Chains A and B, each alone.
Chain A
Amino acid sequence: MKQFIAFIKKEFRHIMRDNRTLLIILGMPVVEILLFGFAINMEVQDIRVAFYDPTPDAFTTGITERVKQNSYFTYRGDMHSMDDMEESMRKGELDLAVVFQQNFQENLVHSGEAAIQLLSNSSDPNRGSIAVTYATAIIAGFQQEQTELMQIPFQIQAENRMIYNPLMKSSYMFVPGIMGLVLMIICTIMTSVSIVREKERGTMEVLLASPLKQGTMIFAKTIPYMVISFIDFVIILLLSYFILGVPVNGSLLLLFLVAILYITLTLSYGLTVSTLVDKQVNAVIFSAITAMIPVLMLSGMIFPVDNMPQALQAFSAIVPARWFIEAVRKVMIQGLGITMIWKEVLIMFGMTLFLLGVTIAKTKKRLE
């Protein structure tokens, strides 16, 4: 036990004294969140909009004019039927279509209620959702003005319909994605490098010639990175919640448990990598190719898994981050409980056991 603690202490010292590593470990989640949250999630402009107004009247014209005048929108003409509109939307000529109810003004004056349908092209979900938000805001402004003017309470119901990607699957996707990526990088690359460094610098030789058991060493190696990854996870969670406004709809405890399972899994992968290579640079390249790129490309972080070709979908099943991202999305965004993520949890648990098994089998008691 003393050996174990001494080893952990030593490991923390290595990390604390290496400013570059420290900067990467603590700076990476912040940079990634800000990058994905602001730089990549750019402001949407030139939203191409068209209107379908079967019975034009003062109200519909008022709303139409306001949208046309708004600098974010580019007017693309009036449509004469729903079919026309769907056709041009399918061709990708429109981002947003505003459809007024028949006899809009009449309904509004008589029943105090009228409906507008906002159809957004969500094949680019980000653009689609922002277009809807802008349009809703304009309608709400118009409604408020009219209410004050006419002294009668009435309501315009803006009904959103997102077509081509109705569930908006990739919105909020990047936060779980960044969690998956950052934890993978820290756990896999840092752990494998820290073990391989001992081999490269010759300290492994001294450790091997001591009574220290291999298991103690490997276990002790993982503890500091487990702590650091958990801190990173909390940083990402706080940044997402307070700066990006991503909700935590499900159980926070369950979210933490999922994170710990994933951290253990990626640490195990780092250990596996360390048994396969002998040079630090190889450890980095190997981890980057086998861990980072699949996380970026195949985990659903950037490209939704459902949109991938069958072969890649099948391949993505062995990417640990895919299951983590799915589980986090379910718990964090959709607010689901353990019963809905048992599959992801079991898969990650199985992967962990497999990788630990490989590590144990591959760990050497000697130099060769």
Chain B
Amino acid sequence: MIEVKDLYKSYAKGKVNALNGITFSVEDGEVFGVIGPDGAGKSSLFRILASLLLPDSGVAVMNGHDVVKDYRKVRQIIGYMPGRFSLYQDLSVEENLTFFATLFNTSIEENYHLIKDIYQQIEPFKKRRAGALSGGMKQKLALSCALIHKPEILILDEPTTGVDPVSRKEFWDMLGRLKEQGITILVSTAYMDEASRCDRIALIREGEFIASDTPQGIIDSYSGILWSVEGDRMSAMLTALRDHSAVKTSFAFGDKIHIAVADGLQAGELKQYLAKKEFSDVRIAPIKPTVEDCFMALTNE
């Protein structure tokens, strides 16, 4: 169980506020996602929880161990995977894993069952130097190294950044299986579409949690009317939509535009408005909000 209360952290002698009073808790065996853009404070939060940084104020307790006072104990029970690839590039896959196993006073054999799923995929390359692995394989190796000592809590800082979509999906499947083994997982990501893989998520912005709930709960709390708009000349259309008085928010979402509209606006009306501005072949459909829509809505409040 992770319990965090009123965590504040600033850098450069208080000039830059990284965390502005974060409070949350994570139950045993839960996958908790911290979701937000770069620079929102995710890494600062995770480093404090991994006992690598001292908070300015506030308390963080990992399975009963305070991250400031009992930092040694905390370091024994957590598996931490930093945001960027932090293994020895000039050591082979196997050497890296053996080294980290020894660091935690264990061996690959002892906890092989834990990492089997993941490690089997990179085992054919175990003689290869870590620096020569692909992004997805590097992440698998890093996760294996973070897991080799059977941690009670896994802290993963943006594990899927820079990883291809297939490997990302595989990675989340693996986290699902680890959760089944009772490991508490705290994971951060900038990809909103990964939110649904978590039991609960928190949306973080400028060092504050702006919402915290289950992914469905976050989506259910979305109160507005959401449409998707498709057509030609998308970037010009985005500007045109923003000029419309009944459109509250509009932002590009892949190859579509998501707009939140005021009550009473008809799709036909909007189509006409766009046709006048010489946008042809416009398709408008009401859609269900995603976590990203919620994040954008909360950000605009």
Binds A, one of B71-79, B108-116, B260-268: B71-79
Known A201-B86, A205-B82: A368·B54 in contact at CB below 8 Å: yes
What per-residue 1/0 map shows which CB atoms of B77-93 lie under 8 Å from chain A?
01010101111111100
Question: How far, in whole Å, are A164 and B153 apart by their CA atoms in the complex?
Answer: 75
Task: Find out whether the CB atom of A209 lies under 8 angstroms from the CB atom of B51.
Answer: yes
Instruction: Check A10 for interface membership: any CB of B closer than 8 A.
Output: yes
Specify which chain A residues have a CB less than 8 angstroms from the CB of B51 in the assembled complex: 208-209, 366
Task: Find out whether the CB atom of A202 lies under 8 angstroms from the CB atom of B78.
Answer: no
Task: Find out whether the CB atom of A203 lies under 8 angstroms from the CB atom of B84.
Answer: no
Task: Find out whether the CB atom of A205 lies under 8 angstroms from the CB atom of B102.
Answer: no
What per-residue 1/0 map shows which CB atoms of A199-224 lie under 8 Å from chain B?
00111011111111000000000000
Q: Considering residues A10, A206, A211, which has the most beta carbons from chain B within 10 angstroms of its beta carbon?
A: A206
Task: Find out whether the CB atom of B53 lies under 8 angstroms from the CB atom of A366.
Answer: yes
Instruction: Check B273 for interface membership: any CB of A closer than 8 A.
Output: no
Question: How far, in whole Å, are A13 and B76 apart by their CA atoms in the complex?
Answer: 26
**A6, A13, A17, A210: which contacts B75 (Cβ < 8 A)?**
A210
Specify which chain A residues have a CB less than 8 angstroms from the CB of B82 in the assembled complex: 202, 205-206
What per-residue 1/0 map shows which CB atoms of B41-85 lie under 8 Å from chain A?
000000100111110000000000000000110011010101011
**Contact residues on A (Cβ < 8 Å of other chain), bracket:** 20 to 34
Instruction: Check B300 for interface membership: any CB of A closer than 8 A.
Output: no
Question: How far, in whole Å, are A9 and B100 apart by their CA atoms in the complex?
Answer: 12
Specify which chain B residues have a CB less than 8 angstroms from the CB of A6 in the assembled complex: 98-99, 102-103
Instruction: Check B104 for interface membership: any CB of A closer than 8 A.
Output: yes
Interface residues of A in 4-33 (CB under 8 A from B): 6-7, 9-10, 13-14, 17-18
**Contact residues on B (Cβ < 8 Å of other chain), bracket:** 20 to 34
Task: Find out whether the CB atom of A209 lies under 8 angstroms from the CB atom of B95.
Answer: no
Specify which chain B residues have a CB less than 8 angstroms from the CB of A110 in the assembled complex: none
Task: Find out whether the CB atom of B91 lies under 8 angstroms from the CB atom of A10.
Answer: yes
Task: Find out whether the CB atom of B90 lies under 8 angstroms from the CB atom of A3.
Answer: no
Specify which chain A residues have a CB less than 8 angstroms from the CB of B98 in the assembled complex: 6
Task: Find out whether the CB atom of B88 lies under 8 angstroms from the CB atom of A203.
Answer: yes
Interface residues of B in 85-137 (CB under 8 A from A): 85-91, 95, 98-100, 102-105
Instruction: Check A367 for interface membership: any CB of B closer than 8 A.
Output: yes
Task: Find out whether the CB atom of A206 lies under 8 angstroms from the CB atom of B76.
Answer: no
Specify which chain A residues have a CB less than 8 angstroms from the CB of B50 in the assembled complex: 209
Specify which chain B residues have a CB less than 8 angstroms from the CB of A206 in the assembled complex: 80, 82, 86-87, 100, 145
- Within the complex, what minimum Cβ distance (angstroms) separates A7 from chain B? 8
Question: How far, in whole Å, are A211 and B79 apart by their CA atoms in the complex?
Answer: 11
Task: Find out whether the CB atom of A211 lies under 8 angstroms from the CB atom of B87.
Answer: no
Instruction: Check A91 for interface membership: any CB of B closer than 8 A.
Output: no
Specify which chain A residues have a CB less than 8 angstroms from the CB of B71 in the assembled complex: 365-366
**B47, B52, B86: which contacts A203 (Cβ < 8 A)?**
B86
Question: How far, in whole Å, are A209 and B104 apart by their CA atoms in the complex?
Answer: 10
Task: Find out whether the CB atom of A208 lies under 8 angstroms from the CB atom of B95.
Answer: no
Task: Find out whether the CB atom of A209 lies under 8 angstroms from the CB atom of B72.
Answer: no
Specify which chain B residues have a CB less than 8 angstroms from the CB of A203 in the assembled complex: 86-88
Known A366-B52, A366-B53, A367-B52: A211·B104 in contact at CB below 8 Å: yes
Nearest B residue to A15 via CB reads B90
Question: How far, in whole Å, are A17 and B54 apart by their CA atoms in the complex?
Answer: 36
Question: How far, in whole Å, are A211 and B75 apart by their CA atoms in the complex?
Answer: 5
Specify which chain B residues have a CB less than 8 angstroms from the CB of A212 in the assembled complex: 103
Q: Identify the 4 closest CB pairs spanning chains A and B, nearest first.
A: A202-B86, A6-B102, A209-B80, A367-B52
A3-B102, A206-B86, A206-B100 are known; give 14 further A-B pairs, CB within 8 A: A2-B105, A3-B103, A7-B103, A17-B90, A202-B86, A203-B88, A206-B80, A206-B145, A209-B52, A210-B104, A211-B104, A366-B52, A366-B53, A366-B54
List 19 contacting pairs A-B, 8 Å CB cutoff, sorted by A: A6-B98, A6-B99, A9-B99, A10-B88, A10-B99, A17-B90, A202-B82, A202-B85, A203-B86, A206-B80, A206-B86, A206-B100, A207-B103, A208-B51, A209-B51, A209-B75, A210-B100, A211-B72, A211-B105
